[in-house]
Structure 1
């Protein structure tokens, strides 16, 4: 069946253009996003098709006489019934052919060589290895641990170093200073003397060492990651500089967008491309010139993202303009265009289009480890926080047992109630102990 077959015979002659990953060759077979898309549509609408390559290698634009070239031209002349490619839906093309609902949305951006990019600086970048929730958890752990060490040092009788003066070294300020020293891997003496204080101290040191190891590991991964941003993030910055040359595909929809735009920035970009003759004949040539350096290739984001995924030395701008869609073209009055539009919508709603895009746009430029580093979340260190909580609880319990043991011994010697002696000890440690100690010291000085 030749390409002039009528649609009532349920055989469509389709045309394509070589562009990765839309249509490529694997041996003698064709493969790619558009090939899979065409197969899915044909399966849903139950028709057969033949395919051939566009003769002039162009997508579709009009010459000076108003005649269509490329895939659009072959569809208009009846040489093909369907043009399946990354064919941008435009008002001019819609006047010459029937175009389906877009099967992919994209916009215009530009790519640069990574050597021309610079990391986006941030004054608080040292906080990025941990998430906000993680920092809040660390702050709470710091406050609770400092308070626990202070309480243990007050409760435990082993921490009152000089029984004669009852001078206590672990004040609330020193407790927080002590655990701060652990975070910097430096000791801040004096150290706890009792077993309860040493337990809390040891658990906090383990917590601090593991936490620092995770921080520096994630920070190093972020420094080594490929998450760089271009030094020029938008078209206004690109238009204002004259150091880097830039261009797009000659005669394509992106070229026509800048040519017909009334925006001063976009007009300046078009005038630069015309003055410098910096446009290229194909997307592949644009990618090649960009890799060679000192050139920015302007194109549609879908194609640019593929280049970034395939060539690790390229990066894309963060700004996208002139959002548009890719559609399938057919002759005016084509009877199956309505059905093709419905099939595309069904594929979109079922997630099939998203699956095809993830399949053919898979990146080969992921950093070591297989995925980009992210801020560390608290649930990843849940066990570490649990260990700290258990250590704090154990330390407090041991301090209470130490004080209870001393109170029991004193109650036995003084023939008093153990509870009354225990309450008196707690009152002295958290209330009048310091005052009594000062009075006793003063009386001994007078004597």
Structure 2
């Protein structure tokens, strides 16, 4: 990688990364100087139709480079063209994608229960309220001894239809009401309703906490093979790379299908370099096949990116040298010594050891977020709606009572005037 202020630097000091640290350690052990340069065509190296090689392999064969130090995987074609040292790292292939946006809703507090459960709860509220009123009415009639009392003397039920609805609603929300059932059937029904409300409210509360605080994103692609079964998300890799060579030569059915999609149906999905591939991931619905080492590092420094597995096609990264180079064994021994002393592990930890982004594929107490206004705005909307409805009803009652009083006063004055007029006529 280039350092941020690479323009102000010169030579090897312009670069940073695992490969840069590796060649520095090897050069220090073997006592040699080196100069780093980037290949002109930006390719890793693949065999062209003419039989020549491009990229870093071509530079080694042309004698322009003494060695290649990069994420250059060792495969059979490259091994026939150049020599490689012992692998200093093992890489796999997986998919790098953009993290899907987590959509929020003002009425997200409704999500813990499905629409069917909400509808069933509403129906249960209405039915239980009606049944409770009926039980109280029948029970009150039985207690009034209808054989010995008249209809006017019979005791009316303590809970009216309006009070029955209010009592059931208050019980569901764990509120207090003035009225309560007096009959045994009514109390049995109330006990069953209270148990129902206890379980429902407890389940809702537990599920609501998970919905509002735990960040878990469901991605449209669960695995690499899902890409082959859809056409919405494009996918590709770098031209003339080891990853492209795998897809081109594989006999695995779904990978061969992906290669046909990338190379023939949507050739624009193939990119010229990794920078272009990472940019397409950021800007488009695009999945980028690349080395796990690079993809993992990208997800560490950029929380908007994520990896999709499972990983496949294990290959080793090795330092490439021209065919028959006598110093290959010395480079291999240096790599083995770095591995034995733990220096390679130390360099890996430096770049891949710490993760600053939460793993959204899991849900744990450590990966929760505080509630934002978007999560609970619907509750405030309901509160404001209740205030507005209550104000409108209050205004309606006030106007209605005012009109009723005015009507009574008018009727009273009319009646008084009429009586006075009859009195004068009589006189």
- The TM-score with structure 1 as length reference comes to 0.52
Separation in structure 1 between the aligned mates of residue 256 and residue 101 of structure 2, nearest angstrom: 24
Separation in structure 2 between the aligned mates of residue 96 and residue 362 of structure 1, nearest angstrom: 35
The residue number in structure 1 matching 2:326 is 335
The residue number in structure 2 matching 1:317 is 308
Structure 2: unaligned runs, 5 residues or longer: 104-111, 113-205, 367-427
Which residue of the other structure, out of 245, 249, 263, is the alignment partner of 2:234? 245
If you compute each CA radius of gyration, which structure gives the higher value, 1 or 2? Answer: 2
Separation in structure 1 between the aligned mates of residue 298 and residue 352 of structure 2, nearest angstrom: 9
Instruction: Report the structure, 1 or 2, having the larger strand content.
Output: 1
Distance 1:324 1:229, change over 3 A: farther
Contact 1:117 1:230 in 2 (8 A): no
For the pair 1:39 / 2:24, whether they are aligned, the reply is yes
Distance 1:367 1:316, change over 3 A: closer
Which residue of the other structure, out of 92, 98, 102, is the alignment partner of 1:107? 92
The residue number in structure 2 matching 1:200 is none
The residue number in structure 1 matching 2:73 is 88
Structure 1 segments of 4+ aligned residues over 3 angstroms from their partners: 23-27, 218-222, 227-231, 361-365, 372-376
Contact 1:88 1:326 in 2 (8 A): yes
Contact 2:92 2:313 in 1 (8 A): yes
Structure 1: unaligned runs, 5 residues or longer: 1-18, 119-125, 127-214, 377-447
Separation in structure 1 between the aligned mates of residue 88 and residue 27 of structure 2, nearest angstrom: 15
Distance 1:48 1:102, change over 3 A: same
Separation in structure 1 between the aligned mates of residue 55 and residue 63 of structure 2, nearest angstrom: 13
Separation in structure 2 between the aligned mates of residue 48 and residue 58 of structure 1, nearest angstrom: 25
* C-alpha displacement of 1:266: 0.5
Contact 1:309 1:362 in 2 (8 A): no
Length, aligned pairs only: 258
* C-alpha displacement of 1:24: 9.9
Give secondary structure in 1 for the equivalent of 2:338.
Answer: helix
Distance 1:375 1:60, change over 3 A: same
- The TM-score with structure 2 as length reference comes to 0.55
Higher relative contact order (CA 8 A, sep 6+): 2
Give secondary structure in 1 for the equivalent of 2:86.
Answer: coil
The residue number in structure 1 matching 2:401 is none
* C-alpha displacement of 1:50: 2.5
Matches within 5 A, 1:156-175: none
For the pair 1:235 / 2:224, whether they are aligned, the reply is yes
The residue number in structure 1 matching 2:59 is 74
Contact 1:112 1:315 in 2 (8 A): yes
* C-alpha displacement of 1:363: 5.5
Separation in structure 1 between the aligned mates of residue 32 and residue 212 of structure 2, nearest angstrom: 51
The residue number in structure 1 matching 2:357 is 366
Per-residue CA deviations over 1:299-333 (Å, capped at 9, x if unaligned) read 11111112211221111013101011111000111
Contact 2:97 2:306 in 1 (8 A): yes
Distance 1:26 1:349, change over 3 A: farther
Distance 1:356 1:117, change over 3 A: farther
* C-alpha displacement of 1:116: 6.9
